[in-house]
Each structure stands twice: as structure tokens, then as C-alpha cells.
Amino acid sequence: MKLKLNYIKLPVLLILVGFLFGFAEKRNNSRKVSEVKVQFVTGENLYVTEEAVNKLLIQNDVAAAGIDKEILDLNRVESLLNNHDMIENAEAYLSLDGKLQTKISQRKPIGRIVGNSSFYLDRNGHVMPLSSYYAARVPLVLGVDSSNVNTAYPLVDYIQKDEFLTRHITGVKRLPGDKFELEMRKLDFKVYFGKAENIALKFNNFKAFYKKALQDEKLETYKKVNLQFGDQVVCTKK
């Protein structure tokens, strides 16, 4: 009888051990990050990729699938991402199913500086390096560098926010005295803007001139359009 009981106890014991082992493993896994998910704001061009973000987190021992949730520092994850040259803002949080979610908004270039060194000017007026993943279609900015890029920012920023100007202006050139000249798409004439002041007034005058000259089929007859006087447009014919 005792022999039979011993035979019965052994399978029960093995089942119990297996159950406890499985329970412990399941509980341990529930304490770990199951996946790292990178989400970019919809519609943005990828100046940095999901693969690059994951690699950054792994290389800095900040986050990876399988890491214990208790040692995961979300503030450090956000700080690391926000210090990336291509990222404007990042948020990190854990979902209920154990996934580390990162929501990333990238920096947005509004102009590309061309000269001894090349870089972008972003929408906040800061220097932004070029991306190896994507080249932005923005106006070229000449005659400035990182030390005086702020002189061109108000003008480039205004152009970027205006659909008509974005469609027609391809270049911004800084001249001596912090004055500017604009390059037009598909048109021969130069637009002399003068200093980056009274910007809205000058561009409103330019739009009125452009509309009238287009109606009169005279756009091709000009070689220079001068906006520096603010309240008027002075044109020079070919």
C-alpha cells in the first residue's frame, strides 16, 4: 500500500513543481518589457528611423525587450531621445500589456544653409544637422553660418508658413548689411527684399504685384523686383 502511495505522490509532485515553475516564469515575464514600440507623429518625414531609435536605446542600456520594468527609467528614456539631433520632443510610457511606447515628434527644417558647412535651420530658429535618411525640400539659404543664422530666421520662417511663398521661393541670400535677396522658381528676376523687417507688408505688396503682372502676362519682362521700400514695389525691366 505504501509503495502504491509513493508511486502516486511522485507524479503529483512533478506536476506541482511544473506548475510552480510555470507560474514563477509567467510572473517573472509579466515584470519585464515585452516590446519596444516607436511611434512617429503622423505625416512627418523620417529624419531618424525606428531602427536608429531602438539602437540608441539599446546601446545606452536604457531600454530593450526583456528588461525588468522595475529598473526601467522612463525619464532617462525621454531625456536620451530628446537629446537626439533630429528629435524635437519625445514621450515614453509603459502600456498595460508591458510594451514600452515612445511617441516622437521630429525637428522640422525650414531652410538649408549652404556654404563652408551645410546644415538645416529648424522651425524654432536652431541649427539642425543634415539627415542621412531624408533630404528636406526647403529653400536654400546662402551667406549665413551658425553664428548669424538668426538674421535670416524671421524671413525664412515667414516663407515656410505661407503656401504661396513656399511654392515660388527657392532661395534666400544674405547680402552685406543684413539685407536679403530672394530666388524665384521658374522666373528670371531677382527679388530684392532689403532687411528682414516689415516682412508681412513687403510680401503682401509682392503678392499683389505678382497677381497683376501674371494677369497682364508681364512676369517675364522684369529682371529685378525691389521690395525694400515697404509701401511700394519698384520693378526694373529687362
Global pTM value: 0.79
pLDDT tens-digit readout, 20-71: 444 334 443 345 666 778 888 877 778 998 888 888 888 877 665 556 666 6
Domain spans, the chain: 35-106, 109-237
DSSP state letters, 45-87: --SS-HHHHHHHHHHTTS--TT-BGGG--HHHHHHHHHTSTTE
CATH assignment of 109-237, given 3.30.460, 3.30.70, 2.40.128, 3.40.50? 3.40.50
Residues 161-184 pLDDT 10s: 999 999 999 999 999 999 999 999
Helices 74-82 and 50-59, packing angle to 10 deg: 120
Fold of 35-106: Ubiquitin-like (UB roll) (3.10.20)
